Structure 1
Amino acid sequence: MKNIYSILILLFFCNLTNAQDKEVDFNTAIKSHIKKYNIQSDIAHENKETEKAQVLFDSLVANHLVGTKFEDFKFKSFGVKNVKLSSYNKPVFILTYASWCIPSKGEIPALNKLAQKYAKNVKFIILFWDKKFKVKDIARKFNHNIAVCYANESYKNDATIVSNLKHTLGFPTSYFLDQNLRVVNIKRGGAQPPSKSSYVKAYTMNYNAFREGLGSLLIEKNISNEQLTTN
């Protein structure tokens, strides 16, 4: 009887461990929780409770999305070939945009500088929710260390990408993935400096905001110890 009891306990803990080890994919997690989040977030924004809206977003990310497995998406690119996330074998930073969503002052130069500095350690991807011809001009503003991609509902094989990313967390949104495509963190775009900010201040704010996010993927010296340049 004692042996049977011991076996039952062992089986219980084995099943519990298997359940805990079972990997949850990002698509499933976002679909399970996005409806409730959207309702609460809409109410917060209607009441102009900006801080509460941010807390709701951070809670969704921390409690339900961090640790989930991203689908191995394949993005259409302006480069020589399309971008498949698993092909890089290193952490990935994805920032979603749209041609009608103008980046803040200093945002693109800050991204270019960070990509130049950390390209060996992290793959930088800018993903526009647009058709190719609408993105062509702005794509030239990003340096060669950044893969500029695009996705649209009308393009073949883009429906899943649009559904799980654009139609859930919107844009601009930053996704920080480890080399196994597990979500390490998700943040809203850049720093959004005041419109009257000087270029240097806006650049610095964006640089630090994106660098903070990259810190979840990198172990590096503090940004305050780095030499800030606008080149």
Structure 2
Amino acid sequence: MRNLLHLILFLLFSSTAISQAADDTLYFSNAIKINFAQYKKESTLAFALGDLERGEFLFDSLVQNRLVGTTFDNISLKKSSGPRLRLSSVKKPLFLLTYASWCVPNQGEIPAINKLARQYGKDVKIVVLFWDRKDKMKKIARKFSGRITICYAHEYYKTDARIVAALKHTLGFPTSYFLDANRKIVDIRRCGVFKTLEKQQYQKSFDLNYNSYLEGLSTIMIKNPDADDDTK
């Protein structure tokens, strides 16, 4: 009887400890709300005054001091084709890039992302999330590699309210989220290299964007030695 009592107490304690550990998990959607109004006010003012350095400093401080290490919410995304994607089903590091069809990418940017998908697709899940209705994002979505999972979300869809509020209406877009295999946030970055280059400078634009995204990917994965080495 005493042994049985000990076993029951042990199970109760273990259950409570596990429950408490779960409750202590800080999710991105909650972390982003902490003093966010103050951050939004200061960053909006900085960009309005043309103080890009101050704006970038505030963004980096928010990411590094409050968001890195939190757990990305287990959201469910509508894919351009096939069943929905629930992030908990992804068992490897994840690179989530938020976009919009009206946000014209730099020349060479999409080809750079496609090359990374060919090289690292076995080691990391690459997802592009469009803040669009399905019919609005189809054309540009076709420019991405088949190795990239294309998803979409929009205020028009009632089930997307939580996703839109947590991501689009906070850090905006385009934004890159780099998550480890347990959905822990390793880094969050503004996307690509925003430089206006002449059309004949395509290769330079491609290289700048490729290296920028590769630097982000390097925080969550190791290069596959057998990766495709295409240049475009």
CA contact (8 A) 1:79 1:147 kept: no
CA spacing shift, 1:69–1:171, aligned 2, 3 Å? same
Q: Give the partner amino acid of 2:129.
A: L
1:82 deviation in Å? 1.4
Q: What do the CA deviations read for 1:189-217 (whole angstroms, capped 9, x no partner)?
A: 11113232600000000000000000110
Shifted more, 74-83 versus 127-136: the winner is 74-83
CA contact (8 A) 2:101 2:136 kept: yes
Q: Give the partner amino acid of 2:218.
A: G
Pair 1:65-2:67 in alignment: yes
Task: Please point out which of 103, 106, 111 is paired with 1:104.
Answer: 106
1:229 deviation in Å? 4.2
Partner residue in 1 for 2:209? 206
Partner residue in 2 for 1:121? 123
Q: 2:68 and 2:62 mapped to 1: Cα distance? A: 9
Partner residue in 1 for 2:189? 187
Structure 1, unmatched stretches of 5+, are 1-17
Q: 2:143 and 2:32 mapped to 1: Cα distance? A: 32
Task: Please point out which of 137, 159, 177 is paired with 2:179.
Answer: 177
Question: Where do 4+ consecutive residues of structure 1 move more than 2 Å?
Answer: 193-197, 226-231
The count of residues paired between Structure 1 and Structure 2 equals 209
CA contact (8 A) 2:129 2:153 kept: yes
1:47 deviation in Å? 1.8
Q: Give the partner amino acid of 2:128.
A: I
Alignment map for 1:1-231 (pairs within 5 Å): 22-196=24-198, 198-220=201-223, 229-231=230-232
Q: What do the CA deviations read for 1:149-206 (whole angstroms, capped 9, x no partner)?
A: 1001111310000000000000000000111111110000111132326000000000
CA contact (8 A) 1:129 1:151 kept: yes
1:228 deviation in Å? 6.7
Q: Give the partner amino acid of 1:203.
A: F
CA contact (8 A) 2:117 2:147 kept: yes
CA contact (8 A) 2:133 2:154 kept: yes
CA contact (8 A) 1:109 1:230 kept: no
CA contact (8 A) 2:119 2:229 kept: no
Q: 1:219 and 1:145 mapped to 2: Cα distance? A: 18
Q: 1:116 and 1:219 mapped to 2: Cα distance? A: 14
Q: 1:103 and 1:68 mapped to 2: Cα distance? A: 29
1:227 deviation in Å? 9.3
Partner residue in 1 for 2:9? none
CA contact (8 A) 1:191 1:209 kept: yes
Q: 2:48 and 2:132 mapped to 1: Cα distance? A: 28
**What is the RMSD of the two structures over their aligned residues, measured on CA atoms?**
1.9
Structure 2, unmatched stretches of 5+, are 1-19
Q: Give the partner amino acid of 1:192.
A: F
CA contact (8 A) 2:132 2:152 kept: yes
CA spacing shift, 1:145–1:204, aligned 2, 3 Å? same
CA spacing shift, 1:227–1:191, aligned 2, 3 Å? farther
Identity %: 49
Q: 2:180 and 2:124 mapped to 1: Cα distance? A: 9
Normalized against structure 2, the TM-score is what?
0.85
Q: 2:196 and 2:99 mapped to 1: Cα distance? A: 19
